[in-house]
Amino acid sequence: MAEAQDYTYVGTRPVRPDGIEKVTGKANYGADESRPGLIHGVVVRSTHAHALIEDIDVSEALALDGVYSVVTAADFPARDKISPARKRMFENIIAGHKVVYHGQPLAAVAASSVALAQKAADLVKVTYKALPVVLDMRDAMAPDASVLHDDMFTQGLPETPDKPSNVVQKTAIRKGDIDEGFAEADIVIEREFVTPMVHQGYIEPHACTADVNTDGHTTLWCSSQGHFGIRDMAALSLGMDAGDIRVVPQEIGGGFGGKTVVYLEPLAIKLSAKAGRPVKMVMPRDEVFRATGPASGTINTVKIGAKKDGTIVAAYANLLYEAGAFPGSPLGAGAMCIFAPYDIPNILIEGTEVVVNKPRVAAYRAPGAPQSMFAGESVLDELAQTLDMDPIDLRLKNAATKGTHAAYGPRFKDIGLVECLQAAKAHPNYQRALEKNQGRGVAVGFWFNAGNNSSAEVHVAESGMIQIVEGSPDIGGSRAAMALMAAETMQVPYDRIRVRIGDTDSTGFCNTTGGSRTTFATGMAVINACEDVVVQLKERAAITWGIDADQVDWRDGQAFPKPGVNTEAEPLTLAKLARSFPKTGGPISARASLNAQGPGPSFAVNFCDVEVDRETGSTQVLSFTAIQDAGRAIHPDYVEGQMQGGAAQGIGWALNEEYLFDENGILENPGFLDYRIPVASDLPMIDTQIIEVHNDTHPYGVRGVGETPIIAPLAAVGNAVSRALGIRMSDLPLSPPKVLAIIDGQ
Amino acid sequence: MAEAQDYTYVGTRPVRPDGIEKVTGKANYGADESRPGLIHGVVVRSTHAHALIEDIDVSEALALDGVYSVVTAADFPARDKISPARKRMFENIIAGHKVVYHGQPLAAVAASSVALAQKAADLVKVTYKALPVVLDMRDAMAPDASVLHDDMFTQGLPETPDKPSNVVQKTAIRKGDIDEGFAEADIVIEREFVTPMVHQGYIEPHACTADVNTDGHTTLWCSSQGHFGIRDMAALSLGMDAGDIRVVPQEIGGGFGGKTVVYLEPLAIKLSAKAGRPVKMVMPRDEVFRATGPASGTINTVKIGAKKDGTIVAAYANLLYEAGAFPGSPLGAGAMCIFAPYDIPNILIEGTEVVVNKPRVAAYRAPGAPQSMFAGESVLDELAQTLDMDPIDLRLKNAATKGTHAAYGPRFKDIGLVECLQAAKAHPNYQRALEKNQGRGVAVGFWFNAGNNSSAEVHVAESGMIQIVEGSPDIGGSRAAMALMAAETMQVPYDRIRVRIGDTDSTGFCNTTGGSRTTFATGMAVINACEDVVVQLKERAAITWGIDADQVDWRDGQAFPKPGVNTEAEPLTLAKLARSFPKTGGPISARASLNAQGPGPSFAVNFCDVEVDRETGSTQVLSFTAIQDAGRAIHPDYVEGQMQGGAAQGIGWALNEEYLFDENGILENPGFLDYRIPVASDLPMIDTQIIEVHNDTHPYGVRGVGETPIIAPLAAVGNAVSRALGIRMSDLPLSPPKVLAIIDGQ
């Protein structure tokens, strides 16, 4: 493949196509669709965190003037035809016989205004029989614990147990012999770490508008990370054919994994079908916190054994992940990632997933990895301290390289960890002298990345404008990335390319944007389709000149006869060729689809300097440096943006964010005043450095970059605070009261 | 090709996909789009039919509170960069230095309400210098006539004349030697015919909403017969790149050729750009009549010479077509069609196009042909009377057949005129005995049909639903036709197919729907893309079974191993194959585009029985029989619907419709109360009979069917009235006062 300097468009930083619409407020987000005759839906939510539902009486609500429709679980008979595991997924959309967390939907009401719908919702009478609330994972695992799901039996045991349990599954990843490994160690460090349930904190709440035709054909406008996924989940929950739901993607105001799930959409569709009108639903902020999918809280124990020279010989982890009220924790990914950056001969990672009476978790950016790697990277830091090694040197000594066999399965191809570590060590920020109460923390992040299914179409307008249609929402600048890859492939200027996100009826299937797959996989579909456009353009030039297509060169966005062929012919620009399409065979379009393989893992090295105020327990982040292998940064601004955004979220997770429940399982901080995400004044400028170690499976070398950035910050901040205080921190968030208590408790 | 009985889906009559939306009122038409911040635009129109514009003062309008923007011709500098011929097209959008018809746009105003915008429009002060108004074509051709366009010189003369003229062009079509032909004739009949300017009478007025982004990127919602054409014309008038305008097609409430032109769209775009808000414009009905494109009024002289046995030896026509205020009459098509149904050795067709101070004409269903063929078919009827021949027999004697060399150029392949004539003669309606004051008229219609550029994409959803995207608006049931052809090609049930009309950014280029091209050309693109889907499905089945793709059969919508291959394999349904797409290579999509050749001309034979009330001059249509060669009727309901709709419009044209101008060129009947189109009680049930003579250039034999139906009714009705009264009618419409005057004048 070509080196970076060979690219004309890839690696440049043009204005994103959707930038002006978004900055001026013209862009349409989830709540921005309207329709003639629109009515408004609100959700009736459980006031108990664990209870049997004895009765739901909607008669008073329905009798209210201006109320058009009410739905309960009885309106979703399709759920009774699917497996218990899938059915549980739909209990999270609307509860049947019991509720398992506070805020779980029980009914939904549609009325002529939001206020009226809320009034009607308040008239829905629910009779509960309260059950004991289980909030702590270790309590939930106790033999006498109140069981959330009578039909759920622990998976992953040698034999299926004979009684239900709150333990969803047990897992293990093994490499080498863990006991022999520890036996070889000169030094062993073991520690338990706790991370809280946190929310992604996207600014845009969940919102959708559904419009159901008399024949059942349905249009759904919503913002999501994947409108095909929304379509398929909504169809499944409603017993509809996916092809009868058209999902029109709206712009997304943040998702970070949390907008991969349906909450309101099936309710809005059913309310619309019953009302015969379009129905809009928008979650209030407190419902976003109470009843969408946060990240798992975890309790993780890590034990690492090393030789005196720093060679790690054994690594053990016991990971305990809470799923919330229904299975679905990212335990698996947490286990895959924890020791993946290192070439360790003996590894054992044991995992347990547990349900508790909290909202069901959803993906949150590199789901599962920040929690496990906080534990792993903290123990490594302690090991470096114990060995009096530079923490980067310790990691360099053990770093995975090409050929390393990762415990979770693959043997790595070209990867960029060593390059990132070397860049970190050489970085000016790493040379700064630390003052009193200051500490520097280093951590590595790792994400395996995903490929999956993508499609794209390309049309050449009569003016020669290139029109790309694809089905991956633009979450982090993907329109710009697609346009740059198209520009590079066709050697057509970036500003001659338009990118549209097609609805589910109008473009080929694309999996949900997640796993940092879109620039990689949808990008490959775009590149393949553009390559076909070039083939067709050369054929048209050949027709024009009366020569063979293989006698045509394509460069600088123009067709040339090859040297020695028809030397008098003037080059044909794209615009000229486009004007002659009717004469040379009709319009030019192209398409491609694939299940993309080989996404290329991404490594990051983060380090940060903090200063802890011993009077207040408050931590100030003085500097934060994020270094990451992007394979190839198609649009470096948006790679840096991902790195900066991940760092900001990771710092929030490390220092302040946490779900606070009372003993009844009621969330006490369901709003941004009490749930404290970092604001601009909390953060320094996040310094970034992109490393580019080509990923051979992608034409331009892309690796996914969206998830890795959030992984290392938890441990980088934790290690920095630990070093500033001289006390090993193990319980997030490192909020002022907690840090102060630790200082005072010394 | 397969015979009719071999088809599973083609030729059946399922419910159209858009039927329920349209019947229940859910479908969105041109005026139905709304946007946050929407404002409303109205047009300031000329109060003179011919005048110089000395000044336009918009200051008072702009000063009105709630007015956001005003535009005049000065806001369209792009018009100065194009040729005079094209510039004239844009004078029809907004006038520059002079107005040439009453109602011509001079300015447009956008304000917070329609009422306020109208108030502001009334405040725009225009100073005119009146010029003589020319309404009659022969007056316009006089040497001293007031000339509409100083820079327009007659085309088609041996030498370009040295002074401007209202004569746009002179044309001629020649075959054989016309003088020798007439010399051979035993009988010659010559007569002049007049047809009035008429309007298409679509129920939905022109309407659009434009939303211009700060960077100029524009979205336009409108109904039209071709959103790509709207895009390109709007871009040209605004000096924009077509790729910067996205036109989202709305459902169309009738177009019939009249919605192939831009009127409001450039104004709405410019108003939106200046206002920074979305702008909606909807024409009031009187503006539709005054200032959109009606059909040309004509004065046509036809002279036919025949042998005593009815053999036609010479045919001459002199066609005079009014263009309205700007060039663009369908004279050419009128000339092509007039004698095309007959194998005549000597033909001369001379044509003249003239501008007058009336609205510029636009296409109206088979543009130009109803007028010329009214003349031709009337003279043929008179010839049959004179020769005492059955009018069908006269036509059978001279009918064009395979191999006939049409005067306008082609040598016909398989055509269905003889079959239509024979069917007419055998039809029970043709046997009915006529009573007093009743007459039966026969006429032939001919349209050459168009092919042109079309594209289509097909996506296979995960559920196996087939999703077709194409860029031709659904005017007469084309979604149903596309779905049926797709069903046939893939052998997938019709109800498993969805068809979407893509916007201009989201699907490949399709020419405007006109010339009866869509079922033929876009249909071929759909068929080609579906054939590619089947190829891919067979490949996926082969991967699943571990055999070669050429060992797979596709039938009944399923893959089978060929006899003798892997005989134990279960057939793979589309749904099963779709579920396995991720394992077999990713999603399946396909696309095709083409410039379709060989559309296949379409012939019709119409006959009708009328009774004329000699007291009132009123004509009642007792029965009307439309017989037409459809090549292959994909969905017979919609072919019959075209035939019935064309007949209804043709009957209205024959009997009642006409533009009535006062001496100042002001239209006196700009509304459906005074411009009388037929209502249900005016018409009998139109009887139809579809003839199917396969068109070999289309996989299912399709010929275009939308335009031919309107051609023969004018002459069929005219001939029937002539025979009922025993007086040759030559001046349309045959309205009661005119007929009464003729009766009284005998």
CB of A453 less than 8 A from some CB of B:
yes
CB pairs under 8 A between A and B: 170
- pLDDT (tens digit per residue) in A627-664: 999 999 999 999 999 999 999 999 999 999 999 999 99
CB of B569 less than 8 A from some CB of A:
no
**Strand residues in A112-166 grouped as ranges (E):** 125-130
Q: What one-character-per-residue DSSP string does A57-99 give?
A: E-HHHHHSTTEEEEEEGGG-GGGGGS-HHHHHHHHTTS-SSEE
Q: In this structure, are residues B554 and B491 in contact, taking their beta carbons and an 8 Å threshold?
A: yes
Interface of A with B in 200-219 (CB under 8 A): 211, 213-215, 217
Interface of A with B in 164-193 (CB under 8 A): none
CA A602, chain centre distance (Å): 15
Q: Which of B454, B465, B502 sits opposite A243 (nearest CB)?
A: B465
Confidence label for A90 from pLDDT (cuts 50, 70 and 90): confident
pLDDT at B84: 76
- pLDDT (tens digit per residue) in B555-580: 999 999 998 887 788 999 999 999 99
Question: Residues A424-438: what's their mean pLDDT?
Answer: 98
Q: Which residue of A has its CA nearest to B243?
A: A465
For residue A147, the one-letter residue type is: V
Give all strands of the β-sheet with B497-501 in edge-to-edge order: B497-501, B466-470, B452-460, B589-596
Query: Would you tell me which CATH number, out of the four given (3.90.1170.50, 3.40.50.970, 3.90.950.20, 3.40.640.10), belongs to the domain A33-131+204-253+259-291?
Result: 3.90.1170.50
Chain A: closest CA distance from residue B112 (Å)? 18
Interface of A with B in 489-508 (CB under 8 A): 496, 498, 500, 502, 504-508
* Number of Cβ within a 10 Å radius of residue B174: 12
- pLDDT (tens digit per residue) in B104-160: 999 999 999 999 999 999 999 999 999 999 999 999 999 999 999 999 999 999 998
Q: Which residue of A has its CA nearest to B469?
A: A506
Question: Residues A16-20: what's their mean pLDDT?
Answer: 94
Q: Which of B506, B509, B590 sits opposite A502 (nearest CB)?
A: B506
Please state, in angstroms and rounded to a whole number, the distance separating the CA atoms of residues B164 and A723.
92
pLDDT at B568: 82
Q: Phi and psi for A193 in degrees, rounded to 5?
A: -125, 145
Q: For residue A458, how many C-alpha atoms fall within 13 Å in the half-sphere facing its CB?
A: 34
User: With a cut of 50, which residues of chain B have pLDDT below it?
Assistant: 1-3
**Strands B619-629 and A167-175, bridge-based pairing:** unpaired
Structure tokens at A493: 């200027």
Q: Which residue of A has its CA nearest to B15?
A: A215
Question: Residues A262-280: what's their mean pLDDT?
Answer: 97
Structure tokens at B183: 């010399």
Distances (CA, A) of B467 to A246, A508, B402, B494, B502: 10, 9, 39, 11, 11
For residue A410, the one-letter residue type is: P
| B254 three-state secondary structure | coil
Q: Residue A606: pLDDT above 90? A: yes
Q: Phi and psi for A438 in degrees, rounded to 5?
A: -105, 150
| B298 three-state secondary structure | strand
Confidence label for A34 from pLDDT (cuts 50, 70 and 90): confident
Most distant CA pair in chain B: distance in Å?
A: 89
Q: Which residue of A has its CA nearest to B590?
A: A591
CATH no. for A451-595: 3.30.365.10
pLDDT at B86: 76
| A365 three-state secondary structure | coil
Please state, in angstroms and rounded to a whole number, the distance separating the CA atoms of residues A100 and A146.
11
A298-449+600-744 and A451-595 share one fold: yes
Residues of A in contact with B501 (CB under 8 A): none
Residues of A in contact with B217 (CB under 8 A): 20-21
Distances (CA, A) of A281 to A209, A215, B304: 6, 22, 72
Question: Residues A287-297: what's their mean pLDDT?
Answer: 98
Q: Residue A496: pLDDT above 60? A: yes
CB of B597 less than 8 A from some CB of A:
no
Q: Residue A3: pLDDT above 80? A: no
Please state, in angstroms and rounded to a whole number, the distance separating the CA atoms of residues A374 and A720.
12
For residue B549, the one-letter residue type is: A
Contacts of A665 (CB under 8 A, 6+ apart): A49, A50, A101, A102, A133, A135, A357, A358
Number of H helices, E strands in chain A: 20, 26
Structure tokens at B108: 């447009």
Q: Phi and psi for A296 in degrees, rounded to 5?
A: -60, 135
Give residue limits of the domains in chain A.
33-131+204-253+259-291, 298-449+600-744, 451-595
Tokens 């060929």, residue located? B562
Please state, in angstroms and rounded to a whole number, the distance separating the CA atoms of residues A610 and B539.
59
Chain B: closest CA distance from residue A72 (Å)? 26
For residue A678, is it left (φ>0), alpha (ψ between -120 and 50) or beta? beta
DSSP designation for B709: G
- pLDDT (tens digit per residue) in A713-745: 999 999 999 999 999 999 999 999 999 999 998
* Number of Cβ within a 10 Å radius of residue B569: 16
Tokens 């009123």, residue located? B618
Interchain contact, A211 vs B26, CB within 8 Å = yes
DSSP designation for A233: H
DSSP designation for B189: E
CATH class name, domain A298-449+600-744? alpha beta
**Strands A279-282 and A207-212, bridge-based pairing:** antiparallel
Q: What is the pTM of this model?
A: 0.95
Q: Which of A462, A505, A590 sits opposite B498 (nearest CB)?
A: A505
Q: Which residue of A has its CA nearest to B278?
A: A26
pLDDT at A5: 55
pLDDT at B5: 54
Interchain contact, A508 vs B213, CB within 8 Å = no
pLDDT at B1: 37
Interchain contact, A589 vs B594, CB within 8 Å = no
Contacts of B240 (CB under 8 A, 6+ apart): B78, B216, B218, B234
Q: Which residue of B has its CA nearest to A16?
A: B215
Contacts of A554 (CB under 8 A, 6+ apart): A490, A491, A534, A537, A538, A560
pLDDT at A84: 76
Chain A: closest CA distance from residue B405 (Å)? 25
Name the nearest CA neighbour of A443 among A719, A724, A723.
Answer: A719
- Whole-number average pLDDT of chain A: 96
Q: What one-character-per-residue DSSP string does A524-537 give?
A: HHHHHHHHHHHHHH
Please state, in angstroms and rounded to a whole number, the distance separating the CA atoms of residues A146 and A161.
17
Interchain contact, A595 vs B582, CB within 8 Å = yes
